[in-house]
């Protein structure tokens, strides 16, 4: 069964073809980073318009690269939420109308579920069920107990900023640009770990929730107290922030694993690309840490195609109505 996957929830247009026998056979990604860079963050209307421009040529590209045609498709999966409403609507209307014209099913996929499943695209990487998942992206920070496909219990989440959002805001504060995660990580390479000590929010009390806005405020105050910043100051602050964010995530993961006794932790979402996070979790935890290849950590069409394929194989599909959800809790996963 050949499935076309379409990701358009934010600032990346991602297309991919997933074959249920052969695996991932082609993928293409257009990043809008340059388009939004001048604004220091994603401009929703610009994002939607760019998805409109890229979605058709990228569909052609993935089909040509795999030597396939539209008539080979058995289903189309698209991101139905959560995300920017206009951007989601571009992918959803394209997917639905194409599926309707080909007389094949379409399936709306939850973006965070797709992130969660991305490390499983490569079968040799598959964890044992049940497992723990740490979802860390620009919009979400969640600890999810995965009991089966579609059976997710959220054990903890951020009460304010997401981890990726804190990276992005701190990078902006330091004048490092957008997206902040990779910029902070690169700058932190030359930082002095003894210079600043940032707090580890909410680790001094029980529970699995997170709070990252205090870390951002701490960064703001540190910047004010040391302005004007030299390049070394920026590197020292970037490193102190990164160490605090990574440590906080690791402490909560350790708690979640002790509590549930699962043997595997899957880390997914853009922040799971962070090398320091990967290393820290692998050294601190008893559980085996599993993550996707770098290109499948941040937004992409492959994870949508894969999650859609699993749901189509399970007999689910969406109706013809175009339903997208800007907000969509992951423990309320009715197919849409
Ligand atoms: O999953 P994603 O591509 O998009 C959302 O669904 O939000 O995640 C994007 C987030 C951004 O906040 C970005 O700064 C962060 O992931 N990110 C990183 C790294 N690469 C991307 N954060 C820390 N370290 C990285 N290497
Ligand atoms: Zn994402």
- How many Cβ atoms are within 10 Å of 131's Cβ, its own excluded? 24
Answer yes or no: is the C-beta of 83 below 6 A from any ligand 1 atom.
Answer: no
Helix and strand counts by DSSP (H, E) for the chain = 10, 10
What is the structure's pLDDT at 336? 59
Nearest CA to ligand 1 atom 7: 138
DSSP string, 221-254: HHHHHHPSPPHHHHHHHHHHHHHHHHHHHHHHHH
DSSP state of 78: E
Structure pTM?
0.94
Q: Which of 134, 135, 137 to mutate to test the pocket of ligand 1 (most atoms within 8 A of CB)?
A: 137
Taking the centre of ligand 1 as the mean of its atom positions, its distance from the CA of residue 270, in whole angstroms, is 3
Number of the ligand 1 atom closest to the C-alpha atom of 138: 7
Distance CA 316, CA 121 (A): 19
Among 77, 143, 60, CA closest to 111: 77
Q: Which residue has the tokens 């069964």?
A: 1
Give the pair of three-digit tokens for residue 232.
């070394």
Answer yes or no: is the C-beta of 269 below 6 A from any ligand 1 atom.
Answer: yes
Per-residue pLDDT of 211-249, as tens digits, reads: 999 999 999 999 999 999 999 999 999 999 999 999 999
What is the structure's pLDDT at 125? 82
Considering only the C-alpha atoms of the chain, give the largest distance between any 2 of them, rounded to a whole number of Å. Answer: 62
What is the structure's pLDDT at 99? 98
Taking the centre of ligand 1 as the mean of its atom positions, its distance from the CA of residue 273, in whole angstroms, is 7
CB distance 180 to 169 below 8 Å: yes
Phi, psi (5° rounding) for residue 23? 90, -155
Point out the residues of the chain with pLDDT beneath 50.
none
Reduced to 3 states (helix: H, G, I; strand: E, B; else coil), residue 176 is: coil
What is the structure's pLDDT at 241? 98
Answer yes or no: is the C-beta of 182 below 6 A from any ligand 1 atom.
Answer: yes
Per-residue pLDDT of 257-284, as tens digits, reads: 999 999 999 999 999 999 999 999 999 9
The shares of helix, strand and coil residues in the chain, as percent rounded to the nearest 5, are 45, 20, 35
Nearest CA to ligand 1 atom 16: 270
Q: What is the radius of gyration, based on Cα positions, of the chain? A: 20
- How many Cβ atoms are within 10 Å of 183's Cβ, its own excluded? 20
Contacts 24+ apart (CB under 8 A), 41-47: 41/168, 41/172, 41/178, 42/10, 42/11, 42/84, 44/84, 44/85, 44/86, 44/87, 45/86, 47/10, 47/11, 47/84, 47/86, 47/87
Among 333, 330, 332, CA closest to 133: 330
Distance CA 162, CA 171 (A): 14
Answer yes or no: is the C-beta of 300 below 6 A from any ligand 1 atom.
Answer: no
* Ligand having the closest approach to the CA of 181: 1
Nearest CA to ligand 1 atom 22: 181
Q: Which residue has the tokens 């990580």?
A: 185
């Amino acid at each position: 069964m050949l499935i076309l996957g379409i990701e358009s929830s934010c600032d990346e247009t991602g297309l991919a073809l997933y074959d249920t026998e052969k695996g991932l056979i082609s993928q293409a990604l257009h990043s809008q980073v340059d388009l939004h860079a001048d604004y220091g963050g994603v401009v929703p209307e610009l994002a939607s318009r760019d998805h409109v421009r890229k979605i058709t040529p990228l569909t052609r590209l993935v089909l040509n690269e795999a030597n396939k045609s539209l008539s080979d498709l058995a289903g189309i999966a698209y991101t139905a939420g959560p995300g920017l409403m206009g951007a989601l609507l571009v992918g959803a209307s394209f997917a639905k109308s194409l599926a309707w014209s080909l007389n094949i099913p379409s399936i709306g996929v939850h973006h965070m579920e797709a992130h969660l499943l991305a490390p499983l695209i490569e079968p040799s990487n598959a964890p044992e069920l049940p497992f723990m998942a740490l979802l860390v992206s620009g919009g979400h920070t969640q600890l999810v107990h995965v009991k089966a496909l579609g059976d997710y219990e959220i054990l903890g989440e951020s009460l304010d900023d997401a981890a990726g959002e804190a990276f992005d805001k701190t990078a902006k504060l330091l004048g490092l640009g957008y997206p902040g995660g990779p910029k902070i990580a690169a700058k932190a390479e030359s930082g002095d770990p003894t210079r600043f000590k940032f707090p580890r929010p909410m680790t001094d009390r029980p529970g699995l929730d997170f709070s990252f806005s205090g870390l951002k405020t701490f960064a703001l105050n540190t910047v004010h107290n040391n302005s004007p910043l030299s390049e070394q100051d920026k590197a020292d602050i970037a490193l102190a922030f990164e160490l605090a964010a990574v440590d906080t995530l690791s402490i909560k993961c350790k708690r979640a694993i002790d509590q549930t006794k699962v043997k595997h932790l899957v880390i997914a979402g853009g922040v799971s690309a962070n090398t320091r996070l990967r290393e820290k979790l692998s050294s601190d935890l008893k559980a085996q840490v599993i993550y996707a290849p770098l290109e499948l950590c941040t937004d992409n069409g492959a994870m949508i195609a894969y999650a859609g394929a699993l749901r189509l194989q399970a007999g689910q599909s969406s109706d013809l109505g175009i339903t997208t959800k800007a907000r969509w809790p992951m423990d309320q996963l009715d197919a849409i």
